[in-house]
Amino acid sequence: MNAHDTQPFEDAGARALWDSYLRKVDALCTVLNPRQRADIQTELKAHLLEGFIQTDAGDEATRLAAVIERLGEPDEFVPSWVEERLLDDAQPGAGARSLLGLLRTNLARGVKQFPFTMLVGLGYLLSFYFFLVAFMKLIFPANVGLYLTPAGIPVLGYVDAEAFREILGYWLTPVALIASILLQILLNRWIRRRFSKRA
């Protein structure tokens, strides 16, 4: 018998239990890539089968139910496991998918995490805006920039007003790019630190 095999039960009740449990697990793993999802499934199948073999009282469904009861409902431990798997990939240079996945699971934990998720979301938007402005400056050099209004209020973006005074000029492109990258790095570190602490 191999953990990669499909379930080995003859009893329909046991088969239903097995399928239902693994379906619940998989539903909690949607933010992971197929390899990570398969890893979790394989390890849990191995656990269930091992427990099933070592539990000898009752019919197949009773034995499997006992193993599942000891193992716990998927929502008791799979979300933490998913976070761990996402953190595996959220090391320096991590892809946006891993980090966004972390945020998604974080948001799912409830409104307590809402301010954190909102701030990070806004941070990413701002970072993207800096990136956008850096390139727009090259396409619309006369209208895109960092300006000061007559009242001295800074405005960053597309401006069509003679009264505004531009500062930075073409320096805006490198400055905005650096700001975008720095903001990304800070946000990524913040996310990693927050999840590492909780883990």
Partner 1 sequence: MRVAQADINGLFDKWQLQLRKGVLVYLVLTLLEKEDMYGYALISSLSGKLVAPMPEGTIYPLLNRLVRDELVVFEWQIMDSGPARKYYRITRTGRQMLKRMRKHWNQLNDVFQSEQ
Contacts with partner 1, residue ranges (CB under 8 A): 1-4, 40, 42-47, 49-51, 53-54, 70-74, 76-78, 80-81, 83-85, 87-88, 199
Least distance (Å) between residue 124 CB and partner 1: 24
Least distance (Å) between residue 195 CB and partner 1: 11
Q: Which is nearer to partner 1, 30 or 80 (CB)?
A: 80
C-alpha–C-alpha distance, residues 124 and 181, integer Å: 10
C-alpha–C-alpha distance, residues 85 and 82, integer Å: 5
Q: Which is nearer to partner 1, 20 or 42 (CB)?
A: 42
Q: What is the DSSP string of 79-118?
A: HHHHHHHHHHH-STT--HHHHHHHHHHHHHT-GGGHHHHH
C-alpha–C-alpha distance, residues 8 and 48, integer Å: 11
C-alpha–C-alpha distance, residues 50 and 60, integer Å: 13
Least distance (Å) between residue 45 CB and partner 1: 7
In sign, the C-alpha dihedral spanning 11, 13, 14, 18 is: positive
Strand partners, 154: 148
Q: Which is nearer to partner 1, 70 or 165 (CB)?
A: 70
C-alpha–C-alpha distance, residues 89 and 87, integer Å: 5
Q: Which is nearer to partner 1, 1 or 12 (CB)?
A: 1
Q: Which is nearer to partner 1, 4 or 193 (CB)?
A: 4
Least distance (Å) between residue 90 CB and partner 1: 10
Least distance (Å) between residue 88 CB and partner 1: 5
